[in-house]
Amino acid sequence: MTEVFEERTRRCQQRLQAVDADGVVCFPSTNLYYLSGFREEPGERHLLLFVPAAGDPAFVAPEMYDEQLAEESWVADVRTWSDGDDPLDLVRDVAADLDLAGGRLLLDDRMWALFTQDLRAALPDAGFGLASEVLEPLRTRKDDAEVAALRRAAAVADDVSVAVRELGADAVGMTEAELAREIESRLADAGGEEPAFETIVGAGPNGAKPHHGHGDREIEPGDPVVLDFGAFVDGYPGDQTRTVVFDGSPPEEFDRAHRAVREALRAGIEAVEPGVTAESVDRAAREVVESYGYGERFVHRTGHGVGLDVHEGPYIVEGNETELEPGMVFSVEPGVYLPGEFGVRIEDLVVVTGDGCERLNDSPRTWQPL
């Protein structure tokens, strides 16, 4: 596996040279893992990966990470500092050794302000930009191993979607929070490592809030319930949404709104193929929703890329003229939200193939109980 991370770093260096940048600096994030193979959560200590446009990268890290980095990362040059040291002295040394002190450095987009300010202070002659300039084009195209992990994560979400739908009338009377815990328990039992994001269970009028999360409202007969969940599998997330009615008769308008969203989902997915733009997929889905008269109630983009981060490029939104390429993975998730009444969202993940796309999710999309 080590060679995968080194290969990614070398491709990153090629892109650095193409955009006339001298190096990338990452801190604990998915970018750092993508290049080095070392995974860690952000903390208050300076743990930075310097990747020059040519030559080998180097870590600046607290000495407590010395053994972990040796075991988990392919990067051999690890410079450590102790809690009694000023880490910026080591930053200056590494930047000088890698000929980066006066260059154009691209910083991890999610680097905390504490560290960006320290880098600016330590390297006053350097210029700064964002690492996404070189890393986003690399990360948006998944390799075979990444797609395989995303397939496994999608399968876990599918299995749990079916199992939860089978609760039927037994789900009535549960609170949103109780059902969310049930979903997360089933995700773990099905092979998920941890939830990919806060599980959404939006019952009745709460479903009209696209990022409601879950609360203490009890699910009632006839409630449309938006279920949006997924789990990480081998480091990659599932992300699927279904809108269901567990028991009883839904509001009169619900079936029409649900049909509009199902047809928009199909239109969006059918629009996916290499060479078309991200915004054209958004437009294909949105035009269907508009034809039903719900255009103003489709209040978010049609989709987002999925990879090491649940939300990453490419974003499927008007104005994004990025052309789709094989290996890109993203969601297609149109929605209709009627405030005070209900919401509908249906979401599948797709991977762009040589002549169209592969749908990664395959659980039922209708609203009726199984």
DSSP labels, 143-207: -HHHHHHHHHHHHHHHHHHHHHHTTGGGGTT-BHHHHHHHHHHHHHHTT-SSBSSPPEEEEGGGG
Q: Which of 88, 29, 31, 94 is nearest to 57 (CA)?
A: 94
Beta strand 200-203 pairing with 127-130: unpaired
Span(s) in the chain for CATH 3.40.350.10: 2-139
Q: Coil, helix or strand for 118? A: helix
* pLDDT tens digits, 231-273: 999 999 999 999 999 999 999 999 999 999 999 999 999 999 9
pTM metric for this prediction? 0.94
With contact defined as beta carbons under 8 Å apart, do 158 and 363 qualify?
A: yes
* pLDDT tens digits, 76-114: 999 999 999 999 999 999 999 999 999 999 999 999 999
Phi, psi of 276 (to 5 degrees): -80, 160
Q: Which of 148, 137, 151, 143 is nearest to 348 (CA)?
A: 151
Cα–Cα distance for residue pair 280/273, rounded to 1 Å: 10
- At residue 369, the pLDDT reads 81
The tens-digit pLDDT sequence of the chain (370 residues) is 679 999 999 999 999 999 999 999 999 999 999 999 999 999 999 999 999 999 999 999 999 999 999 999 999 999 999 999 999 999 999 999 999 999 999 999 999 999 999 999 999 999 999 999 999 999 999 999 999 999 999 999 999 999 999 999 999 999 999 999 999 999 999 999 999 999 999 999 999 999 999 999 999 999 999 999 999 999 999 999 999 999 999 999 999 999 999 999 999 999 999 999 999 999 999 999 999 999 999 999 999 999 999 999 999 999 999 999 999 999 999 999 999 999 999 999 999 999 999 999 999 999 998 7
- Cα 288–Cα 330–Cα 334 angle in degrees, nearest 5: 25
Looking at the structure, give the CATH architecture of the domain made up of residues 2-139: 3-Layer(aba) Sandwich (3.40)
Average pLDDT score, the chain: 97
CATH code assigned to 144-359: 3.90.230.10
Cα–Cα distance for residue pair 70/72, rounded to 1 Å: 6
Span(s) in the chain for CATH 3.90.230.10: 144-359
DSSP 41-57: ---SS--EEEEESSS--
